[in-house]
Structure 1
Amino acid sequence: MEEKKGKTQAIISYILLIGPLIAISMNSGEDKTEFASFHIRQGLGLTITFIVLGLLLSNFNIPMATMSMWGAISILTLYGMFTAVKGETKQIPILGNLFQKIFKTL
């Protein structure tokens, strides 16, 4: 039943930009669950990917690239959020394994 305990933190972690920070603070201390930590790593990775890609694409005036980035990040975020709602720990396609390795200390 650890999934139910950390479900709120897991869902919040997918709110881009501020969500991972809120979820990290909620998942600290005695209430820390591995389920929430898994999703926090995924959400934090998506947020950082969003920021980095946004900064890179802002140097170019290519609307199709910007729309593609927004679409891909949106789809991956929704995928992660739905797996958190269902109580599953499925990695985000393509980048999920990398996020788990980079943020393994969270």
Structure 2
Amino acid sequence: MSEKDNGKMVAIVSYITIIGWVVAFIMNSNNKTELGSFHIRQSFGLVVIQLLLSIVMSLLPSLATLIGILGLIVFIFQVIGFINAIQESRSPVPLIGEKLQSVFSSIG
């Protein structure tokens, strides 16, 4: 598999559940690519945000509607990231993608 193909595969797999992210992380650590690393950071950040939203929802159920809306937005960002991975684009997800790249710069 060429480096370009490996980077695309890593990028796509990183958005398919947390298990996919772990697989993508391992694949990318064997043969690092910029595309793979970029999408590993994006997808990891989105998973962390989803996890934090779940924790807040369990602690503050009165905010369920707001957290549900935020969760839907994060899911839409995951779909956008997945589409970007398929298209081999390193475009960050809207609003938070650049921040995710800087916060998780050591990952990937």
With structure 2 as the length reference, what TM-score do the two structures score?
Answer: 0.86
The Cα offsets for residues 24-43 of structure 1, whole Å up to 9 and x where unpaired, read as 111112x2111100000000
- Partner in structure 2 of residue 8 of structure 1: 9
- Partner in structure 2 of residue 86 of structure 1: 87
Aligned pairs (5 A) from 1:1-106: 2-29=3-30, 31-61=31-61, 62-105=63-106, 106=108
Question: Tell me, which stretches of 5 or more residues in structure 2 are unaligned?
Answer: none
Residue identity in the other structure for 2:45: G
Superposition RMSD on alpha carbons, in Å? 1.7
Q: Whose helix fraction is larger, Structure 1's or Structure 2's?
A: 2
CA contact (8 A) 1:4 1:87 kept: no
CA contact (8 A) 1:12 1:22 kept: yes
Instruction: Report how far residue 3 of structure 1 moved.
Output: 4.1
Question: Tell me, which stretches of 5 or more residues in structure 1 are unaligned?
Answer: none
The Cα offsets for residues 37-66 of structure 1, whole Å up to 9 and x where unpaired, read as 000000000011110111012212233123
CA contact (8 A) 1:13 1:23 kept: yes
Change (3 A) 1:20 1:102: same
Residue identity in the other structure for 1:24: F
CA contact (8 A) 1:91 1:97 kept: yes
Residue identity in the other structure for 1:69: L
- 3-state SS, counterpart of residue 28 of structure 1: helix
For residues 55 and 6 of structure 2, what CA distance do their matches in structure 1 show? Answer: 36
Aligned residues: 105
Residue identity in the other structure for 1:21: V
For residues 58 and 33 of structure 2, what CA distance do their matches in structure 1 show? Answer: 37
4+ aligned runs moved over 4 Å, structure 1: none
- 3-state SS, counterpart of residue 92 of structure 1: coil
